[in-house]
Amino acid sequence: MSIISVDSSNIEKEHICCAISDKKGETCVSSKKAWMKSQFDNGLVFKKLDARGKVFIEYISAENAWCPVEGEDYIYINCFWVSGKFKGQGYANMLLDECIADAKAQNKKGLVILSSIKKMPFLSDPSYLKYKGFRVCDTAKPYFELLYLPFKENQVVPKFKACCKNATIDEKGMVLYYSNQCPHTDKYAPLIADIAKSKGQSVKLKKIESKNQAQNAPSPFTTYSFFYDGIFTTNEIFSESKFIKFLNEKGL
């Protein structure tokens, strides 16, 4: 099986992997595809296995990344995922090699990617990345790691912006920062707001809709970051059951 690129010429007919199993996900898919279309002119690349599965890599120049990171002349990997029956067959290596070749063709200094101290949902696996030569170049509370793969030694090292280092915001209550980088956020962000309202509570939704907003966000993971009483709580997208459990634990 080969690796293909999804771009403006074929995005309407190609699936985008991460929402492939969501039978009720048409709205989710359309929101993600609309976001991708808006970023193609900024250099967004989406490569996937030519098969029906979650096997893909998405990347863009760090200058255009929707992440509060400083990494001039690096390629920033938004998302990198191989799952299910496709694991252990070399596809992750194939996708990463394509990204590396593309970055070198553009004379970039290297790659940079958001990860975590240990493997966590929606974040790339740090053990695999470190096995492939990525190094930790910065950290942000409570568990984020910025990893980079320089193509030459003595390169300028990427780093997080100060705005996202401390995992705090000034607002109390429940606040969710999210964007359409993930196809599921447009479905689940309003869902938790509705659940909270039904229980006499509220979630303040702050949708990130521009690169500038994303690059000045209070969390490195601008796809989905939930805060409670000013403290970062999770980057994992709340399902209905998980959010109700959270409310119960907080006595809300």
- pTM greater than 0.75: yes
| CA–CA separation, 86 and 57 (whole Å) | 14
Sign of the alpha-carbon dihedral angle for 216, 221, 223, 228? negative
Containing domain of residue 62, as a range?
Answer: 3-161
Beta strands 45-49 and 55-61 are antiparallel
Altogether, the residues listed in the chain come to a count of 252
Beta strands 74-82 and 135-140 are unpaired
**At which residue do the structure tokens 């030519």 appear?**
50
**CATH number, domain containing residue 226:** 3.40.30.10
Q: What are 51-104's pLDDT values in tens digits?
A: 888 899 999 999 999 999 999 999 999 999 998 788 888 999 999 999 999 999
Q: How many domains is the chain partitioned into structurally?
A: 2
**Which SS3 state, helix, strand or coil, does residue 175 take?**
strand
47: nearest Cα among 57, 33, 35? 57
168 and 198 housed in the same domain: yes
| Per-residue DSSP letter, 243 | H
Which of 139, 161, 183 lies at the terminal end of a domain, its last residue? 161
- 17 pLDDT band (50/70/90 cuts)? low
Structural tokens at position 27: 């709205």
Average of per-residue pLDDT across 117-128: 93
- 25 pLDDT band (50/70/90 cuts)? very low
